[in-house]
Each structure stands twice: as structure tokens, then as C-alpha cells.
Amino acid sequence: MTSYFSNLPIIAILTPFLGAFLTALLGERKKLLIIEKCIPIATTFTSLTSLIFLIKPVLINKYIVTYWMGNWKPESQWAIGIGLEVDAFSLFIGLIIAAACFLSAVYSFRYMEEDNGLDKYYVLFQLLSASMIGFVLTGDVFNMYVMLEIMTFAAIALTSFRNHIYKSVEAGFKYIVIGSLGSSFILLGTALLYSQLHTLNIAQMAALLHGNYTPVSILALAFMLTGYAVKAFLVPCHTWPVDAHMAAPSSISMLLSGIMSKTGVYALVRILYMIYQSTGRPEMEFLIIFWGAVTMLVGITMAVVQTDFKRLLAFSSVSQIGYIMAGFGVGLSVNKGVAVVGTMGGLFHMLNHAAFKSLLFLCAGAVLHQTGTTDLNKLGGLSKKMPYTTAFFIIGTLSISGIPPFNGFVSKWLIYQATFEAGYAPVTIIALIASVLTLASLVKVIQSVFFGQLREEHKDVKEVPLTMRIPMMILSAICIFVGVFPHIVSKYLIEPAAFSIYNIGSYIDVMFGKGYAVKMFKETVSIPSMNYTLAGYWNPASWLILFVILLIALILFFSFGYKTTNSKVVDDLINTRYETFTGGEKESYNHLGENDMFWGMRQDFGRYFKFIKNAHSGVVNDYVLWVVTTCALVTIYLFTLM
């Protein structure tokens, strides 16, 4: 129990905190800037390696690591101190967070060159990474709240980092108001639970709450659901990330959009599956699935009409979180076979979404860095100057739409199957429509930004430097690898995590000693292994055949150039042979950008789009009203049905 790996979680959390303080001490001196840039890379790398060392005991040997801070072990089966408890689900999310923070640190090495006050940026960045890792590794509800607050305030400060731009300050203000509202709800819920149960440890709460809900605990559930819904941006609490992800520097947008939302989902899963043990309750299943479906639809409808690159990506993030919540909602179903598929779909989509959304935001950052604008109406034709960025963005687009060789297909397929088998066929239909709309909005971005015709003022744009390309390359490689070998990823990462979500007996046992939980959780839920039939169609023979097909296709591509005639006709009179066809007119700039794409569809559904667009009024008071309304509705729903 006290072997080397019980110290690893605390190392993973503390190292970035220490790095933050060290960077703050070094201050803003020009000569020390290079050291300050390397410190976050070193600290996030340390966290990542310590979490990687934890893979063997936790994921492979199915062991749960605990660490009591200050060595305050539980007295007579009552937890007093703060406990860090790492099971497979925590480690799964922790790995995603640590890897993303490391890649973001590498990316911001060159990305943030033109800003000043960089020491403050790195301090805040390391606080953000440390608190995110701390949030998922802790086993104490109030500690989660503390880490959440550190995370929120670091994120707020980083959102308004470029405070000479009006948009950043406004985004930060909205984030403070709505984020604090969410945090207050969480604090209220935590306090209510503490007053009811007199303990703050998750494992002990699960043991004490087993099966008997008092009205106070139901109210606490409603508050905590709303609070964490604000963090995980479910509709209608989804209005803050739109501005925040647009205004933040891109290396931070990637963390906010791709990773911080996962911490909100993690907390929701912990509350629903572990503390309140709602598996097998159809009313909770309906609530979460309904919430997920609404989020999917509203998120992607707004994304189709956006005119700013990063805002569009933020709205599509909102929509993908809806997929994840629908997956976890099915996981609450009574039918265990279906429930497990749903949970695995939700987990897989968390991993995939982190990968491809980070990739898309990094490409957006590259475009912003080189051209200075992200307005879709002012860009065009950048694929000739930035070929790598275009290629990575296309890989990201294909992943997010769920096209087969890439990773989005596997997780989306699991979610479709889960929702259909659980009997929620309308949700499957909505999910498929949202998938096509996602493809449409990203094709709009590709046409407006990368393909098309180059503007005059962007003639001297160059490709981004190598340090910025490396994180993008790694993320694309992950997308392709996870898409082609989903069974490997599933066997080592997803299945242990799903197992630990359902079988919480061992989580409780580790804290209290053996035998405590057995009398409560008698049966273990087995997780089926994902062989190739489950994930669709990738078995090795098919892959070989596909490779042969591709080879033949490439041979066709290269060698079939039957050149024809030798007669040099007089078409070289005006050298217009290689211009685009314009009906004979002289070639001029006629780029069709964002405004003109899907014009007919936007006209036809004009009333619907206008209604949703006007609902997002931009006034903070409206948004706060929505959050409070959500809380009220959830409370009423839970009280009538539980």
C-alpha cells in the first residue's frame, strides 16, 4: 500500500503548483524568459510521466491507489482528512488532462511570443493544469470545490489575458458572473450534503447514502447538477464558453474547450453514479438523455450561423458534450448490457473529443497567429501558403464528423447503438442529424478559410513554425491511431474505466478496509471486451485488403497520365489556360465566403435561426436567468419523481 506509486498522485498535482510559484518568483525579466518558458513544459511533463507510471497498477492490475494528505488516516471507519483516491476512471481523465496540458505548453512556446506579461501567463497556466489534475484525482467533495475554484479563476484570468482587446474583457466578465453562479450552486450542494451526512469523503458518502434519499440530499443533488452543468456547458448553461473560448489565446482555448468540459462531465458522473447510485432509475436516465439531446441540437444550430472561426468551434464543442451526456445517460439504464455500451460510448467520446477539438483549436490558433484575424469573411485561400495546417484541419474535420477511418466513428457508433437499443430512437435520429450539421459547419470553415481564393493582404503569409506544428502532428496521429486500432485503446483504457464506474464496491473498500462494501454491492457488473465485431469492421484481414486497394488507387493516380496531343494550338495566345472558368471574363477576386454558404437553408429556416440567435442576446442578465431557471426546473423534476 505504501509502495512507490502511492506518492505519484501527489507528485502529479504538486509539481505544477510549485512550478507556478517558482515562475512567479522569477518575475518578468527578459533574460529569464527562456527559463520561464521551459518550466511549464518540465512540470507538465513530470505530471504526465507520474500519471503514466500509475497506469500499470491502476489500469492493468486493477488496484486503487490512495493517499491521505498529511497522513490523516480514517479513524474507526470515519474519514477525517482529505484523501486522494485514484481509480481507473480518474486516471483515464487525468491522463487526457496531463497530455493536453503538456501539448499546450509546447504550443505556447512560440505562440505567445508577441504578448507581454508572459510570466503571469505561465503562472496561471500551471495553476490551471495543476488544479485540473487535482480535481480528478481527489476523493473529497470539498477538495473538488477548491480545485474547481482555482481552475475557474485561472481560466478567467487567462481568458482576459489580452486585455487590450475589448472582446477578451467582456468574455472574462461573462465567465466570472456565470462561473461564480455555478460554483455557488456547487458550494450550496456540498454544504447541504455535509450537513446531512457529516462527512466530505466521496466513498463514505456513497456508503451512507446507499439507497435512502432524504429531501435534503435530493435538493443537494439538484444544486450540484446545475452547478456542474454550468461547468460542463450543457444547454441552457452553455453561454459562457462561447465568448471565453473565442477570446482566450488558442493554446488556452484548447484546454478550456477540450479538457475543462471533461472535468465537469467527470464530476457529474461521480455524483450520479457513485454518490447517488442512480443506475437503474429510469427518471434519471430520461433527464440526462433529454438534456444531452437538447444540448446536441442547440449547440450545432448556433454553430451553422456563426461568422467567427473560434466561436463556431466553441459551439460545436457544446454539441459534442451533448453526445457524451447522452452516452452516460444510457449508462444509467436498467438493462445492464445496453448501459455498459452507453458508458463506453461516453468515455470513448470524451477521449476522442479531447483529441480532435484540441487539434481544431490549434489550427485556428495557427491561422490567427499568421494572419491576425479569425473573421471568416476576411480570410480565404490559405491552403497554398499553410499546407500543413490545412491537412491537420481536414483530419480534424473528418474525425469530428465521424468518417470511418478516424476516431470519431467508433465513439459515435457506440452512442448510436446504445441510444437505439435503450429504446430512445428519436435521440439516435437527432444525433445523426447533428453529425451531418457538424460536417456542414466545418465544411463552411474549410471553404471560407483554407480553400477558395487568397486575399491580397495575406499574400505573404507563411506556415507556422515547427514547435507549433509538433502538437498538431501528435494529435493527428492520435486521431488516426485511435480510429484504426480502437480495440487496443479500449482494452487498456476504456474498459477498466467503465468497470470502475459501475463497480464502486472496491472504491469504498479501499478506504474502509475489506468487507465493508460487499454487503451493499453484491453483484459486479461485467464489461464486455470490445473485439472487432463490436467496433464495426476493423479486423486485420480487412485492413490488409484496404491497404491493397489504396495501393492500387495510388498507382492509378500516378501512372495513368495518358498525355495526348503534340499539337501546340494557338491557345497560348493569351495564357489563360490555367485559370478558373469564369465564362470568359478576366480572372478577378470572386471568393465565396461564409456569407454565401448554405444561404438557401438559412433563409428557409429563418424563423428558427432567428429565434435561437435572438435568444443568445449577449446580455449577462439573461444568461443568469437561464441558469437559475434550469436549477428550478431540475429541482421540481427531481422532487416530483424521487
Among 532, 609, 626, 637, binds other proteins (CB under 8 A): 532
At residue 85, the 3 state secondary structure works out as strand
Q: How far is the CB of 411 from other proteins (least distance, A)?
A: 12
Q: β-strands 65-68, 83-86: how paired? A: antiparallel
Stretch that binds other proteins, among 77-85, 96-104, 295-303, 566-574 (CB under 8 A): 566-574
When the beta carbons of 165 and 544 are compared against other proteins, the nearer one is: 544
User: Considering beta carbons, is residue 189 or 381 the nearer one to other proteins?
Assistant: 381
Containing 541, the helix (H) or strand (E) segment is helix 540-559
452 binds other proteins (CB under 8 A): yes
Gap between the Cα atoms of 394 and 396, Å rounded: 5
Residue 574 sits in the site that holds other proteins (CB under 8 A): yes
Choose the binding region for other proteins from 143-151, 484-492, 571-579, 633-641 (rule: CB under 8 A).
Answer: 571-579
Verify binding: residue 433, other proteins, rule CB under 8 A.
yes
**CA atoms of 278 and 283, how far apart (whole Å):** 9
Of 106-114, 288-296, 599-607, 633-641, the window that binds other proteins (rule: CB under 8 A) is 599-607
Shortest Å, Cβ 539 to other proteins: 8
User: CB of 564: closest distance to other proteins in angstroms?
Assistant: 3
Contact pick of 114, 456, 460, 585 for other proteins (by CB under 8 A): 585
**610 near other proteins, rule: CB under 8 A:** no
The interface region with other proteins, picked from 83-91, 325-333, 446-454, 490-498 by CB under 8 A, is 446-454
Measured CA distances, 13 to 49, 82, 96, 127, 475 (Å): 12, 14, 14, 10, 24
**With binding defined as CB under 8 A, does residue 592 bind other proteins?**
yes
Q: Return the bridge partners of 65, or none.
A: 86
Grid coordinates of 87: 481509480
Rounded to a whole number of angstroms, the minimum distance from the CB of residue 294 to other proteins is 18
Among 598, 609, 626, 637, binds other proteins (CB under 8 A): 598
Decide: residue 541, CB within 10 A, 0-12 exposed, 13-18 middle, 19+ buried: exposed
How many other C-beta atoms can be found within 10 angstroms of the C-beta atom of residue 411?
A: 29
Supply the DSSP string of 559-620, one letter for each residue: H----------GGGSSS-TTSPP-TTPPP------GGGTTHHHHHHTHHHHHHHHHHS---H
**For the chain, what's the residue count?**
642
| Smallest distance, other proteins to C-beta of residue 371, A | 17
Please report how close the Cβ of residue 174 comes to other proteins at its closest, in angstroms.
Answer: 32
Quick one: which of 76, 603, 614, 621 contacts other proteins (CB under 8 A)?
A: 603
Residue 571 found at the interface with other proteins (CB under 8 A)? yes
Does 579 interact with other proteins (rule: CB under 8 A)?
yes
| Euclidean distance between CA atoms 407 and 411, whole angstroms | 7
Angle CA 418–423–426, to nearest 5: 90
**What beta strand segments (E) does 238-325 contain?**
none
Shortest approach of other proteins to residue 466 CB, angstroms?
A: 20
Residues 387-426 touching other proteins, rule: CB under 8 A, are 387, 390, 394, 402-404, 409, 413, 416-417, 420-421, 425
Facing residues of 75 across strands? 78
Regarding 456 and contact with other proteins (CB under 8 A), the answer is no
**Torsion, CA 276, CA 281, CA 287, CA 292, rounded to 10:** 90
Residue 601 found at the interface with other proteins (CB under 8 A): yes
Question: Quick check: 573 binds other proteins (CB under 8 A)?
Answer: yes
Shortest Å, Cβ 375 to other proteins: 18
Task: Give Rg (Cα) of the chain.
Answer: 25
Q: Which of 34, 523, 581, 607 binds other proteins (CB under 8 A)?
A: 581
Return the closest-CA partner of residue 480 out of 568, 580, 355: 355
Residue whose CB is less far from other proteins, 451 or 637: 451
331 to 390, contacts with other proteins by CB under 8 A?
338, 381, 383-384, 387, 390
- The CB-of-451 to other proteins minimum distance in angstroms stands at 4
Place of cell 507538465: 44
Q: According to the binding rule CB under 8 A, does residue 56 interact with other proteins?
A: no
Q: Which distant-in-sequence residues (6+ apart) come within 8 Å of 476 by Cβ? A: 359, 392, 395, 396
Question: Which of 556, 614, 621, 640 is in the footprint of other proteins by CB under 8 A?
Answer: 556
Cβ-Cβ contacts under 8 Å for 202 (sequence gap 6 or more) = 85, 139, 140, 141, 270, 274, 275
In the complex with other proteins, the residue whose CB is nearer, 601 or 641, is: 601
Cα–Cα distance for residue pair 158/459, rounded to 1 Å: 32
Count the site residues for other proteins by CB under 8 A: 88
577 near other proteins, rule: CB under 8 A: yes
Q: Is residue 569 a contact point for other proteins (CB under 8 A)? A: yes
* Of 515 and 561, CB closest to other proteins: 561
Among 591, 616, 626, 633, binds other proteins (CB under 8 A): 591
The CA distance from 597 to 441, in Å, is 9
* Near other proteins by CB under 8 A: residue from 562, 607, 614, 640: 562
Regarding 570 and contact with other proteins (CB under 8 A), the answer is yes
Residues 6+ apart with CB under 8 A from 50: 8, 9, 11, 12, 15
DSSP-derived 3-state class of residue 514 = coil
| H-helix or E-strand spanning residue 142 | helix 141-159
The residue (of 519 and 568) whose beta carbon lies closer to other proteins is 568
The least CB distance from residue 607 to other proteins, in Å, is: 14
The interface region with other proteins, picked from 118-126, 210-218, 322-330, 582-590 by CB under 8 A, is 582-590
**What is the smallest separation between the CB atom of 11 and other proteins, expressed in angstroms?**
42
Cell readout for 561 is 497520365
Query: Cell digits for 17?
Result: 503548483
Instruction: Output DSSP code: residue 238.
Output: -
- Figure out which of the listed residues 177, 218, 294, 534 binds other proteins, where binding follows CB under 8 A: 534
Rounded to whole angstroms, the Cα distance separating 514 from 507 reads 10
Distance of closest approach, residue 521 Cβ to other proteins, in angstroms: 27
Taking Cα atoms as reference points, which of 285, 300, 401 lies closest to residue 343?
A: 285
Q: Does 580 bind other proteins (CB under 8 A)?
A: yes
CB 389 within 8 A of CB 366: yes
Q: Interacting stretch for other proteins, rule CB under 8 A, among 124-132, 279-287, 320-328, 544-552?
A: 544-552
Q: Pick the closer one to other proteins by CB: 514 or 577.
A: 577
The reply to whether 564 sits near other proteins by the rule CB under 8 A is yes
Cα distances from 258 to residues 109, 360, 374, 418, 521, in angstroms, run 20, 10, 19, 23, 34
Helix 261-269 / helix 215-231 crossing angle, nearest 10 deg: 160
Q: Which stretch, 31-39, 46-54, 346-354, 434-442, contacts other proteins (CB under 8 A)?
A: 434-442
